[in-house]
Amino acid sequence: MPLLDMQNLSVRYEPKRSQPLTAVQDVSFSIRDGEFVGLIGESGSGKTTLGMALLRLLERPGRISDGKILFNGTDITHLAQDELRPTRWRDVSTVFQSSMNSLNPVTRVEAQFRDVIEYHTKLRGEAVTRRVRELFEMVIIDPKFVNAYPHELSGGMKQRVNLAMALAIEPRFVLLDEPTTGLDVVVQHEILENVRRLQREQGFAVLFISHDIGTVLSLSDRMLVMYAGRIVEEQRADSILRDPVHPYSKGLLGSYGDPRAETVQITYVPGRPPDLSQRPVGCNFAPRCPERIDRCVTDDPPLFRIGSARAACHVAALQRLGGHGAEEVGEPTRTFAGPQFVKTSEESKAALRGEVLLSVENVSKVFERRRGLKVHRVQAVQDVSFELRRGEVAALVGQSGSGKSTLASMITGVDTPTAGRIVFHGDGGAQEVAAFRGRHLRDYRSHVQMVFQDPYSSLNPAKTLGYVLSRPLANYHGIKGKAARERVLELLETVALNPPERYINRFAYELSGGQRQRVVIARALAVQPELIVADEPVSSLDVSIRAEILELLNKLVHDSNVGILYITHDLLSARMLSDEVIVLNHGRVVESGPSLEVIRNPKDAYTRRLLEAIPSPDTRSAPTK
C-alpha cells in the first residue's frame, strides 16, 4: 500500500470578480514509504496548488472539486481541520519557498522548536534542549545558534532551521515546495545534499516541488512533470534524463548546458502556458509544441503507458506504440526543436574591446554596526579593481554575502566607498561617482540604470505598462504625450513584447514573470543609458524563461553598445552572457579574466566550488532502485 495515494484530484478556484478556473485537473499518482519524488513545471502549472491541496491547506476561493487523497490508507480529502491537526507535523511536514520568513522574528530559535516539540511529544525541559541541539547538528548548524534570533542567521541557515523543524517530530512524509529558490547555488547545493542524506538515513518519503529540473533530477527517484494543471509525464528520474517522452520534458531538459563546454547550447520552450480559465481544445501544450500534429489540436491526450513511462502525448504514443498515423510523425527524437541560445568559444574570444566606460579602482567598503556601546566593523568589499568597456558584459560572480550588491550600490551612487574610487567615463568625460550630488547625481542616474532580481516587486501593480515606461521619459528627458507613447511602443517592441499596442494598457499582474522582467529591462532602456547594472535578473525566473532573457540582454549589448554589469551567482548564465568574469569571495576578487578562460580553466578553489554547485541533470545523487 502506498503511503500517499492521490486519485483523480481536481482543484477549482471560483473567485467572485473573475473567471473560475481549474488549477489542477484529474491528477493521480502515489508515493511509497522512503521514496523521493520530484514534481516539476513552470510557474502557474499548478504545482503549489497541488501541494496545498495535498496538505489540506487550500484557502478560499480554492477547493477540491473532485477526487480524493489517501494517506496511509485513510481518506483525508474531507476531514475536518481538528481531525487533521495530529497528522500534521507528526506524520506530514513541509518546507515552503518562503519559509525563511516563517520564523517568529522576536522569538529565539530554541523557543520556537520547543513549542513544536512539547505540543507533539512528551519531551520536556532539558530533553527538549538536547533534541534541538541534535536537530541543529543533523542539518549542519553549530548548536551555539540555538539561542539566536532569526535575523541573526543567514538565508541558508534559516532554511536549514526550517528543515530541522520539519523533521523534529520524525514525520513519514515531507513536502518541499521550492525550498531553495532565491538562495545562491552553493547554499542550495549544501541544503539539498543535506536533505537527500537525511532522507536516506531516516527513510521518510519526499515530494519535491520545483521549476528547476536540474536540481530535481539530481535528487529524485521518480519524476512527475506538470503542465497547465495536469501531469503530462511520469517516469523514473534516470530514465527521463536519458529518454524524455513528452516534448515539454524535452524542452525543460534543454534549458541546461555545461558552462565549461566548447559550445553551450540552451533551448527554451517558446510561448506561454495557457489561461486556465480558457483552456484550449485538445492538448494544452499544443500551441507551444514544435512536434504537434492535427490530432493534438482537436483531442485531449490521456496518459498513455509508454514502456516504463506514462505520458500525455499523441505524437509519442504514435511513434513508440505504433498504429495508424505513425508515418506522419516520423522517428522519435530526443531533441526539442524550440528556439536556442548558443554561445561558442569563438564568440567568447571575439568580444569587441570598446572604450572604457567604468573604472573601479582599489575600492573598499566598511560598515559599522553598533551593539550597545560596542562598534563592530564589517569589511563588505576589500580592494576591488576592474574595468567595464562599452559594448561589453562583465559578470560579477559570487555567492550571497560576497559583496556583489554592495559594489552595485556604490556604482549606482546609492552608497560611497570607504577607500578607492569609482570613475564613470561617460559622454561628459571621466568623473568620480562619489563626487556627484543633487542634480549631478540625478543626471548620472539617467546614464546608469538598474535591472532588479524580482520583477514582481519592482513594478507598480496599480499602473499600466504605458505609465510605468513613460515616467522615466518625463522625469529625465521631459518627453510627454504623443511622443512618450511612441517611445513606449518602441521600447515594448525592443524587448519583444509584440504587438506593443496589446501591452501598453496592461497591468504588471497580467503578465508572466518573463514578460515582467522584459518590462523592467524596457524601463531601464527608456532613458538610453550607457551602463546597465543587472542584479540577478534571471535567478527568480523559470529555467525556460532564463535563456530568453539572457538572449535579449545579449542582443541589447550588440545593438546599442551599452555596457552591462551582470551580477549573479550562476556561472552558467555568466558564460552565456558575459565577456569578462570577476569572481568575488568575502569582498575580494579571487579570480578574473575572459569568461571562457575563467570558467573552463578556473585557478581558484572558490571558482571551482561555484562550478561544482551548478545543478545539472547529468549529476544524479539518487540511488537506482
148 CB-contact burial (10 Å; exposed 0-12 / middle 13-18 / buried 19+): middle
Looking up cell 538565508 gives: 155
pLDDT at 223: 96
Residue ranges in the chain whose pLDDT is less than 70: 98-101, 182, 323-353, 544, 616-625
59 CB-contact burial (10 Å; exposed 0-12 / middle 13-18 / buried 19+): exposed
The structure's pTM equals 0.83
Largest CA distance in the chain: 83
Specify the 3-state DSSP secondary structure of 404: helix
pLDDT at 257: 78
Which grid coordinates belong to 291?
512536434
Q: Which DSSP string do the residues of 351-392 spell out, in sequence order?
A: -----EEEEEEEEEEEEEEEETTEEEEEEEEEEEEEEEETT-
Q: Could you give all domains of the chain from N- to C-terminal order, each with its CATH number?
A: 4-220 (3.40.50.300), 249-338 (no CATH), 350-612 (3.40.50.300)
Displacement of CA 513 from its chain's centroid (Å): 10
How many Å apart are CA 80 and CA 205, to the nearest integer? 24
pLDDT at 372: 72
pLDDT at 334: 46
pLDDT at 211: 82
pLDDT at 99: 55
Residue type, 498: N
Distances (CA, A) of 551 to 227, 266, 518, 576: 24, 10, 11, 8
